[in-house]
Amino acid sequence: MAYQVIRRGQITKREEDNRLTLERKLLVRWYGLELNRDKCIGCGICADQCPKEAIEHFPAEFKGIKALTRPSIDFDTEKCILCGECVSLCPLDALQMIIEKEEKVPVIEANVFATVTRKRW
């Protein structure tokens, strides 16, 4: 059996039952960021606003007018800092952050919500 070595503080990712979960286990705290794929419509707002460019957005693929895949997102665990900005921006409540069994959003808790956006429309 192959074992995976996880560094202290490293974020790991797992996908089950249409839920993608990032988690960071520290000695005294557990941080989790969860994406509910049933709620997510792949609008990409979170990907555009993530301050660390840690979210990759995959647009829908088409063959003619037939959609082959739905738009979706994925996270880069090496870039994500679990700030929670994406959670507070998702219009469909598809993202959730849990810190020690409580639903919390670090950027809201710390009152440091970023107002700068990368994209110009």
Position 11 contacts ligand SF4 (CB under 6 A): no
Q: Which is nearer to ligand SF4, 2 or 97 (CB)?
A: 97
Cα separation, 121 vs 3, whole angstroms: 46
- Which of positions 77-96 make contact with ligand SF4 (CB under 6 A)? 80-86, 90, 92, 94-95
- Nearest CB to ligand SF4, comparing residues 2 and 105: 105
Give CA–CA dist 41/26, Å, rounded: 32
Q: Which of 3, 18, 21 is nearest to 77 (CA)?
A: 21
Looking up tokens 């707002």 gives 45
Contacts of residue 71, defined as CB under 8 A and 6 or more positions apart, other chains included, come to 41, 42, 43, 44, 57, 58, 59, 60
Closer residue to ligand SF4 in complex, CB, 94/99: 94
Report in angstroms how near the CB of residue 36 gets to ligand SF4 at its nearest: 8
Residues that bind ligand SF4 (CB under 6 A): 33, 35, 40-46, 50, 52, 54-55, 73, 75, 80-86, 90, 92, 94-95
